Amino acid sequence: MYSALVNLRVMDPLKILELDSSKGAWAHAYLFIGRSQDKIELLVLYLRENIGCLPADVTYLASTDETGKKGEIKVAAVRQFLHELSLSSLGSCRIGIIENAEKLNLASANILLKTLEEPPKNVYLVLVSKTEDVLPTIRSRCRVIKVQKDDQVEDSHIDAELLLGKSLYEAFKEIELIAKDNLSDHFFSAFLMLGRKMMIREKNAKTANFLLGVEKKRKEVENNANQRLAMEAVYLKAKELQ
């Protein structure tokens, strides 16, 4: 196993979120997949309390009464959900929770996509799905955590800072392995998170252009561009920012 990929298995579900909390590296969007509702609710509660979001600043999109044909989540429901998220919060942040995210159709997912790509400041999204049938465009922009029935979780998370600390030879060997395992979406998410942390510390044109470049490379891969070459290009641009 290559060291830049943290592959967490056979552990308490909260450990992954505790790791994010300890590093101060909350993802802007999480996707919890599984049918263990009680465990997922515990994860959501942990997120809310540790990010520091007041209960009044949590917005829900529950598909039980917001669905259209075939039980799909309607565009209008997503628009209303995003409007509520854009309102001023009582506390320091807002959290938006989408239940049954597998019911987002292509049209409603496209409405959500822009917010996933460019989340407003101090807004976090939590998507919950009972199945793996979440659109790839949505899934690839979230920190995915699979909650298993036997109190285990499965999570693949790439540490961008760890990867950048390696020699060029070592980093490119790991990128090659990441490409072979088709985990480029995790790679791009990690470098987007890193870029956003840089923007918080110091906003400048180079960092903004880097974020745009990462999104461009991710979209190229979605359109069947070479994963390894796209990731290598992002890695080299990130090295220039160090």
153 and 199 in one domain?
Answer: no
Total residue count of the chain as it appears in this document: 242
pTM, whole model, 2 decimals? Answer: 0.60
Would residue 3 count as lying in a domain? no
HSE at residue 127, side-chain half, CA atoms within 13 A, is 32
Would you say 177 and 155 are in contact if contact means Cβ atoms under 8 Å apart?
no
Alpha carbon separation from 147 to 9, 92, 132, 190 (Å, rounded) = 10, 28, 11, 21
Q: What's the number of domains the chain is made of?
A: 2
Q: Give me the pLDDT at residue 156, please.
A: 56
139 and 29 in one domain?
Answer: yes
Q: Give me the pLDDT at residue 28, please.
A: 86
Would residue 60 count as lying in a domain? yes
Q: Give me the pLDDT at residue 37, please.
A: 73
Would you say 135 and 106 are in contact if contact means Cβ atoms under 8 Å apart?
yes
Would residue 40 count as lying in a domain? yes
- Tokens representing residue 1 in the block: 């196993």
Would residue 200 count as lying in a domain? yes
Would residue 1 count as lying in a domain? no
In this structure, the strands spanning 123-129 and 29-33 are parallel
Of 158, 188, 222, which residue is a domain's last?
158
Q: Give me the pLDDT at residue 12, please.
A: 57
- Positions in the chain short of pLDDT 50: 1, 6-11, 64-69, 151-155
Of 132, 158, 184, which residue is a domain's last?
158
Per-residue pLDDT of 196-241, as tens digits, reads 778 767 778 888 889 889 989 988 988 889 999 999 999 999 999 8
202 and 134 in one domain?
Answer: no
Q: Give me the pLDDT at residue 234, please.
A: 95
144 and 184 in one domain?
Answer: no
The residue range of the domain holding 185 is 160-241
Residue 34 belongs to a domain with what CATH number? 3.40.50.300
Would residue 2 count as lying in a domain? no
82 and 45 in one domain?
Answer: yes
Q: Could you please report the per-residue DSSP string of 129-195?
A: ESSS---HHHHTTSEEEEE-TTS-EEEEEE-HHHHHTS-HHHHHHHHHHHHHTT-HHHHHHHHHHHH
147 and 30 in one domain?
Answer: yes
Q: Give me the pLDDT at residue 112, please.
A: 93
